[in-house]
């Protein structure tokens, strides 16, 4: 068999309209396979279980084509000059042209024919996002792309492209080297992701990604469709990437612009099943099916209408804010009627538990749960937060048999919660439900129920969680406070858990922790006024103790000296005992610094003399010491 010339293959690929072409030697990518399997183990694939099947094939081309010697990878740009007419119902850029599966396959076939013409007897196999092969990994190996922090990217031409792979048994005279990312410290794509799916750089968490939710997830929740910026797919991170902003790619000669780009907002809203076939049948959107796609349109349309209702005139801003606060206050007050035996039993259950309290939830309830956990931990109740979505993808190992689980949910019927409940029952964990729907699956399954029902949300048309999330937060505070009382949790206990910050200082810092950093001014009772002045000035505390041995018999402040001058011009013969204030204010070294503050304020003084248990003089604490530590 003839040796295939790399330059000829690449020239032919560019002639056919591909943006780039690279060739890598076929071999098993064991290191990349191990990383892929690790990501699968951590659940990054969400419910795309097809990724878990026949993993070896994805990283070994010979499993797809026996005797495979070379992997030819091409990139196909889907950028187009056309823009959608609709300003509300938008989709990812790759849907703006014909379905790339068909387009790339159509253009790869002549390339396969060329390879077989150049190397008679060579076998070829074309794959475009259809076979179990890791196309992105082979794109890296062939030098046509590298892994950026949000997926595959080319250092020069950006990331608005898809891949095609041609496997062949022909050997090539020259193979390309892998391309390395030069993203460096740039994290624009990570910060721009509205779903936080890129929080771990160089990994896309499908469980959070809107592209997965709107394309692959067949049971996507309405709340996700509402939050998603696009109807189908998501390329916000790509739009923000500097590579895509500065590199203008050529529109492919072979690409066809999708006819749906001319649809106006009203056309989407009135879309029929036949219209879906007409306008979207030749695009990647066709895989979503009409019912799912139109449901997403309905969710977007309802959100748009609600937004118009939410728009408030400036003159009504304060009125609107006042109404929200009033309604949320009423929602919290309404919880009092729901406090019953279940609440009492829940407190006793947590108190007597040999394990921890595991708090779980999803969406806004998850955020509330995290705050409740923070409050519980800081007040003596060991608690751990576990996100419900993560729980059903491996984090259930957090839960031990003796743990009590608090599930927080407004509806009580979210899929993640309903999937979690059977495990808790099987594991023998007692479950407390904090729920706003008493007829829900969660309420019916729990051992105890904390009713957080509210009449309505504070937003117009009963939209975003406001009153309901405030009610959950308040119920969590009620639970934590009841545990504080029943546990007999003292300020001293609180101080042990809060050693840092002003709270910790107020409960732990003592006078002895401060006075030792000051000089220790002292004079004898018969000391001259000059000696007194020098001692006060030299120690910079505005005061000196008068000692008879180790016994504190008096104190002299700079105020005492000023008053002395006002009373007598002949002070040269005076001694310390004639000017001093007898029985000065003292404080024990074991006293809390916070109490020293109160003592100074009560007596309108700025210094206190520190003594030990035997009333021996130890030093001085000044108001500046307390200010420096944040007590004022």
Q: Provide the whole-model pTM.
A: 0.50
For residue 3, give every residue at least 6 positions away whose Cβ sits within 8 Å of its Cβ, in sequence order, or none.
Answer: 119, 170, 171, 172, 173
pLDDT digits (tens, 9 = 90+) for 384-394: 999 999 988 88
Q: Which residue segments constitute the domains of the chain, with CATH numbers given?
A: 6-259 (no CATH), 322-489 (3.40.50.10490), 512-628 (3.10.580.10)
Higher pLDDT, 251 or 9: 9
pLDDT at position 306 is 58
Rounded average pLDDT over 245-272: 73
pLDDT at position 305 is 62
Higher pLDDT, 481 or 52: 481
pLDDT at position 393 is 85
Residue carrying the six token digits 């004022």: 632
Rounded average pLDDT over 68-96: 89
Between CA 577 and CA 546 the distance in angstroms is 8
- Which band of pLDDT confidence, cut at 50, 70 and 90, is reported for residue 430? very high
DSSP code of residue 172: B
99-103, 423-427, 497-501, 570-574: the lowest-pLDDT one: 497-501
Say if residue 255's pLDDT is above 70.
no
Say if residue 150's pLDDT is above 50.
yes
For residue 291, give every residue at least 6 positions away whose Cβ sits within 8 Å of its Cβ, in sequence order, or none.
Answer: none
Between CA 182 and CA 161 the distance in angstroms is 18
In the beta sheet, which residues pair with residue 448? 432
Say if residue 607's pLDDT is above 60.
yes
pLDDT at position 254 is 46
Q: What is the mean pLDDT of the chain?
A: 87
- The full length of the chain comes to 632
Please check whether residue 589 is in contact with residue 608, taking contact to mean a CB–CB distance below 8 angstroms.
no
Say if residue 126's pLDDT is above 70.
yes
Rounded average pLDDT over 337-342: 91
Between CA 346 and CA 144 the distance in angstroms is 59
Higher pLDDT, 424 or 199: 424
In b/e form, how buried is each residue of 591-603, taking b as 16+ CB within 10 angstroms? bbbbebbebbeee
Between CA 97 and CA 103 the distance in angstroms is 9
The side-by-side arrangement of strands in the sheet containing 551-557 is 522-523, 543-548, 551-557, 581-582
Residue 582 phi, psi dihedral angles, 5° rounding: -80, 155
Please check whether residue 258 is in contact with residue 98, taking contact to mean a CB–CB distance below 8 angstroms.
yes
- Cα separation values, 553 from 102, 195, 578, 600, Å: 100, 70, 12, 20
Residue carrying the six token digits 């160089």: 202
């Amino acid at each position: 068999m003839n040796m295939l010339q790399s330059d000829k293959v690449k020239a032919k690929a560019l002639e056919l309209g591909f943006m780039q072409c690279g060739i890598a030697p076929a071999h098993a990518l064991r290191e990349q396979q191990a990383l892929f399997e690790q990501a699968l183990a951590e659940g990054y694939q969400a419910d795309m279980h097809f990724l878990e099947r026949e993993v070896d094939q994805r990283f070994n081309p010979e499993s797809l084509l026996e005797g495979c010697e070379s992997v030819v990878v091409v990139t196909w740009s889907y950028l187009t000059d056309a823009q959608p007419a609709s300003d509300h119902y938008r989709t990812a850029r790759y849907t703006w042209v014909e379905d790339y599966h068909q387009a790339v396959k159509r253009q790869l076939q002549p390339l396969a024919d060329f390879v077989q013409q150049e190397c008679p007897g060579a076998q070829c196999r074309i794959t475009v996002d259809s076979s179990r092969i890791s196309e992105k990994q082979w794109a890296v190996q062939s030098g046509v792309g590298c892994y950026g922090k949000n997926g595959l990217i080319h250092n020069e031409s950006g990331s608005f492209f898809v891949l095609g792979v041609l496997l062949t048994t022909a050997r090539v005279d020259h193979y390309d080297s892998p391309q390395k990312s030069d993203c460096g410290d740039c994290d624009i794509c990570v910060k721009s992701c509205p779903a936080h799916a890129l929080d771990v750089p160089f990994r896309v968490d499908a469980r959070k990604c809107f592209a997965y939710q709107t394309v692959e997830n067949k049971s996507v929740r309405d709340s996700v469709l509402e939050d998603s910026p696009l109807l189908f797919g998501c390329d916000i991170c790509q739009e923000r990437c500097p590579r895509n902003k500065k590199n203008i790619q050529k529109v492919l000669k072979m690409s066809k612009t999708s006819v749906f780009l001319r649809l106006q907002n009203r056309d989407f809203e009135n879309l029929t099943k036949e219209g879906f076939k007409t306008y979207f049948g030749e695009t990647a959107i066709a895989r979503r099916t009409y019912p799912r796609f139109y449901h997403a349109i309905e969710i977007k349309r309802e959100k748009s209408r609600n937004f118009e209702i939410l728009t408030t005139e400036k003159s009504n801003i304060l009125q609107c804010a006042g109404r929200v606060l009033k309604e949320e206050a009423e929602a919290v007050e309404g919880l009092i009627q729901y406090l019953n035996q279940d609440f009492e039993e829940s407190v006793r259950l947590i108190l007597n538990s040999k394990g921890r309290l595991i708090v779980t939830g999803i969406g806004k309830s998850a955020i509330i749960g995290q705050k409740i956990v923070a409050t519980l931990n800081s007040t003596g109740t060991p608690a751990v937060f576990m996100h419900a979505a993560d729980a059903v993808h491996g984090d259930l190992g957090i839960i031990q048999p003796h743990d009590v689980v608090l599930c927080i949910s407004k509806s009580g019927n979210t899929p993640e919660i309903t999937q979690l409940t059977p495990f808790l029952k099987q594991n023998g964990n007692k479950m407390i439900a904090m729920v706003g729907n008493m007829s829900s699956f969660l309420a019916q399954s729990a051992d105890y129920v904390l009713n957080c029902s509210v009449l309505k949300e504070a937003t117009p048309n009963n939209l975003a969680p406001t009153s309901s999330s405030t009610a959950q937060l308040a119920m969590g505070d009620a639970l934590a406070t009841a545990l504080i009382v029943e546990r007999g949790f003292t300020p001293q206990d609180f101080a042990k858990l809060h050693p840092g910050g002003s709270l910790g200082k107020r409960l732990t810092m003592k006078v002895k922790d401060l006075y030792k950093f000051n000089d220790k001014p002292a004079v004898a009772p018969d000391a001259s006024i000059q000696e007194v002045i020098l001692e006060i000035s030299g120690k910079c505390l505005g005061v000196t103790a008068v000692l008879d041995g180790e016994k504190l018999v008096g104190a002299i402040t700079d105020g005492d000296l000023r008053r002395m001058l006002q009373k007598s011009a002949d002070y040269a013969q005076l001694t310390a005992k004639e000017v001093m204030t007898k029985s000065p204010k003292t404080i024990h070294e074991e006293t809390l610094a916070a109490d020293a503050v109160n003592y100074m304020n009560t007596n309108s003084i700025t210094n206190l003399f520190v003594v030990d248990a035997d009333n021996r003089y130890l030093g001085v604490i000044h108001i500046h010491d307390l200010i420096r530590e944040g007590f004022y």
